[in-house]
Homo-oligomer: A and B are copies of this chain.
Amino acid sequence: MILDICLSPALYPFYKKENDTVIVVDIFRACTTICTAFANGASAIIPVADIEEAKQYKSQGYLVGAERNTQKCDFADFGNSPFDYTQEKVKGKEIVFTTTNGTYAIEQSHGCKTLLIGAFSNIDALAKTCIKIGGRIVVICAGWNNRINIEDTLFGGAFAEKLSNENPIKLDSDAVKIALELWQSAKQDALSYIKDAEHYQRLIDNRAEGDASFCLQHNTVNLVPYYDKIDKKLKIY
Please tell me if the beta carbons of A15 and B147 are within 8 angstroms of each other in the complex: yes
A196-B180 Cα distance, complex, nearest whole Å:
12
What's the least CB distance linking A164 to chain B, in Å? 14
Please tell me if A182 contacts chain B, counting CB pairs below 8 Å.
yes
Instruction: Tell me, yes or no, whether A222 is within 8 Å of chain B by CB.
Output: no
Interface residue from B7, B147, B198 paired with A148 (Cβ < 8 Å)? B7
Determine which of B146, B149, B174 lies in contact with A198 in the assembled complex, contact meaning CB atoms within 8 Å: B174
| Residues in A92-143 with C-beta less than 8 Å from chain B | none
Q: Are A11's CB and B146's CB within 8 A?
A: yes
Instruction: Report A153 CB to chain B, min CB distance, Å.
Output: 6
Q: Is the CB of B8 within 8 A of A11?
A: yes
Q: Is the C-beta of A175 less than 8 angstroms from some C-beta in chain B?
A: yes
A185 at interface by CB-CB < 8 Å: yes
Query: With A and B bound together, what is the CA distance between A11 and B15 in angstroms?
Result: 14
CB distance from A141 to the nearest CB of B (A): 10
Contact with A145, one of B14, B184, B197, B198 (Cβ below 8 angstroms): B14
